[in-house]
Amino acid sequence: MIGNKIAEARKKMDLSQAQLAQRMFISPQAVGKWERGESFPDILTFNRLAKLLGVDLNYFSENMPSAPNDKASPEMQAEVPQEKHNNNPGWNMSNGNWLDADFSGLKDLHEKFSSSNMQRCKFIGSDLSGLLLKSNNVDHCDFSGSDFSNSKIQSSNLAHNLFNHCLLNFTEFFRSNIYSCHFSGADLTGVVIRSGGFSGMAVKSGSSEKSMLLGTVFNRTSFIDSHIADLVFTGKLSYCSFENCAFTRVIFQGARLENTFFKNNRNLKRVRFIDCQADRITYEFLKQGKAELSGISLLDG
């Protein structure tokens, strides 16, 4: 029970209910109702409570109820979001303004963050699979090691975020701007970036910006009707596609291009290929698009 966990952590900190309430700026009666299981805090209060009791949010989330207890008093039920989603505890962070919050390790968020402003938040190691974001501003957040598979990001601004070693399989970015985000070691298998932007800050050989895509897996990754700028693609690209895209200061360096599709792109001839290899079909796509081929050698066979 959540109440038992709150009480146990409180006692380990040698705090009375009244002392905890004072530090939380709430009434002692509210703490009592939490510990009796009559109600539970909203997510922002849980975040404060976790920091105060020296635990992480998973301490509470693993056994949280899926909905508020029917016996909760009217004034306490106002604290609790009423939305239900499978076994999710009814949290809803939509339309919020989240600054410097730590949500690391959370799971089953799905549609809980739409239309929110999130800055400098942590979601390290979280299960965000099936997440739906609409009209979000996400700036300087850390999602390292999280699972984003099968998510949909729509009409959102993503800037200066860390997606290092994330699993983004079959996630779709639609009408979204991805700017100066780091995807080192991330798996972008089946990702679709459509009608948006995918860009870095500047392209300088040997600069830290190159590491934004260091070890990134591009497999069946699609860029459609998008602007790609100030990025260095390295490593292997398999069964990827670039269709109706515009390129600005883009470099493929030491890349291996296999079964990669280029069609109806603008400024493809301005893309730099340095020490790259391509199979015959990819080479012909680039040739038809009037790309500069001097930096590309054909793969054997």
152 and 286 in a single domain? The answer is: yes
106 and 191 in a single domain? The answer is: yes
234 and 137 in a single domain? The answer is: yes
Domain contains 83: no
Domain contains 82: no
Task: Tell whether pTM > 0.85.
Answer: no
Q: Which domain holds residue 67?
A: 4-77
Domain contains 193: yes
225 and 115 in a single domain? The answer is: yes
129 and 24 in a single domain? The answer is: no
Query: What is residue 184's predicted lDDT score, i.e. its pLDDT?
Result: 94
143 and 20 in a single domain? The answer is: no
Q: DSSP assignment of 95-153, as one string?
A: T-EEES-B-TT-B--TTTTTT-EEES-B-TT-B-TT-EEES-EEES-B-TT-B-TT-EE
Give 10-residue mean pLDDT values along the chain (301 residues). 86 88 79 84 73 78 42 34 39 77 80 83 92 91 95 93 96 94 96 94 51 91 95 95 95 96 93 96 95 94 61
Query: What is residue 44's predicted lDDT score, i.e. its pLDDT?
Result: 63
CB 48 within 8 A of CB 10: no
Check residue 280 and report its DSSP letter.
H
Domain contains 207: yes
16 and 103 in a single domain? The answer is: no
119 and 256 in a single domain? The answer is: yes
Domain contains 109: yes
3-state DSSP call for residue 117? strand
> How many independent structural domains does the chain possess?
2
Which of 112, 62, 124, 58 has its CA nearest to residue 87? 62
100 and 72 in a single domain? The answer is: no
Domain boundary among 53, 77, 101: 77
Query: What is residue 301's predicted lDDT score, i.e. its pLDDT?
Result: 61
Looking up residue 244, the CATH number of its domain turns out to be 2.160.20.80
67 and 106 in a single domain? The answer is: no
CB 73 within 8 A of CB 33: yes
Domain contains 201: yes
Domain contains 176: yes
Domain boundary among 14, 43, 77: 77
Domain contains 24: yes
Quick one: tokens of 230? Answer: 């100030």
48 and 100 in a single domain? The answer is: no
Which of 154, 123, 120 has its CA nearest to residue 43? 123
The dihedral built from the CA positions of residue 106, 168, 159 and 226, taken in this order, carries a sign that is negative
Query: What is residue 72's predicted lDDT score, i.e. its pLDDT?
Result: 35
Domain boundary among 77, 105, 121: 77
3-state DSSP call for residue 5? helix
Looking up residue 59, the CATH number of its domain turns out to be 1.10.260.40
106 and 69 in a single domain? The answer is: no
